[in-house]
Amino acid sequence: MPSYTRFLEEKQLENLRLYKYAAIDKSPISNYILKHYWNFAITLFPRTIAPNLITLIGLFFMVANVIIIGIYSPDLSTDAPNWINFCFAVGLWLYSTFDNVDGRQARRTGTSSPLGELFDHGCDAINCTYVALLQTAALGLGHSYSAAILLFTTIAGFYLSTAEEYYTGVLYLGYVNGPTEGIIVSCLAFLWSGIYGVASWHVRVVEVSWLHWTDSFLTGGTTFADLFVWGMALLFLVTHLPVCVYSISLACKEKGLDQFDVFHEVFSPIIKVLIFAFIWLTSSSTIIFKEKHFILFALYVGFLFGEMASDIILAHLTKSSFPRFFNMTFSLAMMTLLVSLNGFFSVNVVAEYNTLFILCGITVIHFMVRAVRVINAFCEFLNIRCLTIPASSSKQRDRALVPNSEAEQEAESLLISQEEGSSSLSSTSQQQYHTF
C-alpha cells in the first residue's frame, strides 16, 4: 500500500487527475490595471524558484508584520509608532503581488498542479486573520468588539468563497472583491495611518466641517474607525453574502441537489463558530478584552478557520463530500462553555489565558503537521515537489504569461496558484457568472 494512503484514500487521490482550474475575476482594476503590473512582476523572478515557494515567501511578509504588532503594538491602540503602518502596507501589497505571481510562475515553468491551489488557498485562509490584525492595529481599535467584527467578517467572507467554489467548481471574484479592492483599501488605510497617525481615525465624523450633515443619521460619537469597520461589514452583507448564496443556489439546481441540505452544511459550521465566539467574548467572566489577549484569541480562531477552509478546498480537489468540522469546532465549544461557567462559581473552572495559550499552540501545530502530511501525499501521488522545481521542468519551453483567448482571460484570477491557466467553463457556468 502506498504511504500516501495513510492520510487520503486512494479514490480521493485518483480524483486529482480530473482536476481543472476555473476562475472568473470581474474586477476592472485587476483586469485593466493590476494585470499589467503582475505580468511585469513575474519577469523579476527567476524560473528556478518554485511557485509554492513564492506563495510561502509572500506569507512570510505578513507573518513579519504580525510579529511587529506583537513587539510595537500589543495593545492594538493609538500608541504605536506610525512607521509600522508603512510596514503593514508594504507587507500586504507584497503578499498580494506574490499571491498573483505564483500562478504565472507555475504556467511558465510547467509546474501547474492541484497542489498549487491547495497550497495557495491554505495560505490565503491563514492570511485572513493576519489582515484583520493589521487593520485593527492600523485603526487603533484595541482589544475590542470592533476588532472581533473585522476578524469574523474577513474569515466568514473567505469561508463562503471557498464553499462557493466547492459547489460551483469556479472561483468567482466580483466587480468589487476583497483580494483586489479590499487589499487596495486596506493598504491606503495603512498609508493614511502612517502619514497622519492612528489617532486620526478616532476623530468624530461630525467634527469635520464638511461632514456636519452626517449628524442627521450618525450618532455623535461615530469615528472614522467606526465607519471603516461598519463599511467592511456592510460590504460583506450586501455584496459578498448574497452573491455566494445565489451562486450556490444555482449550482444546486443545476446538479439536482437539495438546497436546504446544502445550505445547512455550508452555513451550520460557520454559524456555530460565530455563536461560540460571540458567547465567549461577551461572557462577563472572560479576560480576552479586559486583559488584552485578543491577538492570541484571533490566532487560535484564525488557525481553526484556516483548517476548515483548507478542508473545503481539499474536498473540492479530491471530489469528496463537504467536511463536517466537528473535531475542529469541539475545542472552541468546550472553551466557550468553561469560560461561561467561570461566571457562575467563586473559583474559576478554567484558567482562561493559560488554556487559550495551550489550545492556540496545539491548533497551530496540528494545522502545520496535517498540512505537511497532505502536501506530502499530493507530492508522492502526483510525483511532484512542493517547494522546488526539478531540473527537467526548469528546462521546458516557456509558456505564455498572459492568456490569449477571451475565455482564458476571463479565467484569470487573483487567487491563481499553480492552476491550469487555460481552464474553460461550461456554457451553463459562464451564463451563471455573467449574471453579476
**SS3 at position 367:** helix
Q: Are 77 and 140 in contact (CB under 8 A)?
A: yes
| Cell matching residue 31 | 483586469
| Cell matching residue 390 | 526539478
**SS3 at position 254:** helix
CA–CA gap between residue 176 and residue 243 (Å, rounded): 12
The answer for residues whose C-beta is within 8 angstroms of residue 71's C-beta and 6 or more apart is none
Q: Are 150 and 234 in contact (CB under 8 A)?
A: no
CA–CA gap between residue 292 and residue 288 (Å, rounded): 6
Is residue 240 annotated as a catalytic residue, yes or no?
Answer: no
29 CB burial (10 A radius; 0-12, 13-18, 19+): middle
The answer for residues whose C-beta is within 8 angstroms of residue 379's C-beta and 6 or more apart is 115, 385, 386
**SS3 at position 204:** strand
DSSP state of 320: P
Least Cα distance to 58 among 92, 28, 83 occurs for 92
CA–CA gap between residue 184 and residue 192 (Å, rounded): 12
CA–CA gap between residue 132 and residue 198 (Å, rounded): 16
DSSP state of 256: T
Integer-rounded Cα radius of gyration of the chain: 22
Catalytic residue among 36, 121, 143, 202: 121
CA–CA gap between residue 229 and residue 243 (Å, rounded): 21
Which residues are known catalytic residues?
121
